[in-house]
């Protein structure tokens, strides 16, 4: 059977679900629910012996766009939560690095930069110097790639590394186990480009 897909903004809290196998009936929250990142599901809590326990319904979490479309029906707590997400995104879009020309000129022949984090800010550093600062994003591999491209546009083959510091790892990688390897690959390519350009070794 196909599980019913419920609408978060609909009547799922009161809607009766019926098990086609054992006849159990009850609401979503009376069933066996399990939480996942993007949804909750509900299995029949009735007696099913060693047979499979039917999946009665799936409740996907709304996207930010869906929350916004239902703003009038949100509780004050939900509205505050959405406001925080929107403010965070606005602030990031206002303060983020957009063009290579926003970056400072650096005279150093070789640039080993750090991808560091200080409170809620991502900070790009060269030794003790601060090169760039903007609001940090979570699971930000996409942002690492964007910033790296802008740094390369500005500094060319003098850029040899953009190394994440331990303080930045949590926000950069999040729960994405593939992200550390992806960052290593990008850093490896950066070093190859630096080597291929035959940049003068510092003496």
Contact 85, 132 (CB under 8 A): no
Burial 140-172 (b: 16+ CB within 10 A, else e): bbebbeebbebbbebbebbbbebebeeebeebb
> Closest distance between Zn ion and the C-beta of residue 38, in Å?
25
> Closest distance between Zn ion and the C-beta of residue 19, in Å?
3
- H-assigned helices in 132-178: 141-155, 166-173
Of residues 63, 59, 69, the one with CA closest to residue 12: 59
Footprint of Zn ion on this chain (CB under 5 A)? 19, 21-22, 24, 44, 46
Query: Of the two residues 40 and 43, which places its CB atom closer to Zn ion in the complex?
Result: 43
Query: Of the two residues 42 and 150, which places its CB atom closer to Zn ion in the complex?
Result: 42
> Closest distance between Zn ion and the C-beta of residue 47, in Å?
7
> Closest distance between Zn ion and the C-beta of residue 46, in Å?
4
The token duo for 117 is: 């984090």
Query: Of the two residues 46 and 174, which places its CB atom closer to Zn ion in the complex?
Result: 46
Query: Of the two residues 26 and 88, which places its CB atom closer to Zn ion in the complex?
Result: 26
């Amino acid at each position: 059977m196909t599980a019913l897909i419920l609408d978060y903004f609909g009547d799922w809290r009161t809607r009766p679900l019926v098990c086609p196998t054992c006849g159990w009936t009850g609401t979503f929250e009376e069933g066996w629910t399990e939480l996942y990142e993007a949804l909750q599901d509900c299995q029949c809590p009735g007696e099913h012996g060693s047979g499979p326990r039917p999946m009665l319904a799936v409740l996907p979490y709304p996207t930010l766009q869906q929350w916004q479309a239902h703003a009038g029906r949100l509780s004050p707590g939900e509205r505050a939560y959405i406001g925080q997400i929107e403010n965070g995104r606005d602030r990031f879009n206002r303060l983020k690095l957009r063009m290579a020309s926003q970056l400072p000129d650096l005279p150093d022949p070789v640039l080993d930069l750090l991808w560091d984090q200080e409170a809620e800010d991502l900070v790009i550093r060269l030794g003790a110097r601060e090169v760039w600062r903007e609001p940090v994003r979570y699971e930000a591999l996409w942002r690492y790639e964007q910033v790296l491209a802008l740094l390369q546009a500005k500094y060319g083959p003098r850029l040899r590394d953009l190394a994440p510091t331990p303080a930045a790892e949590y926000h950069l990688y999040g729960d994405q186990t593939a992200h550390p390897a992806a960052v290593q690959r990008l850093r490896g390519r950066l070093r190859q480009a630096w080597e291929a350009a035959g940049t003068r070794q510092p003496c």
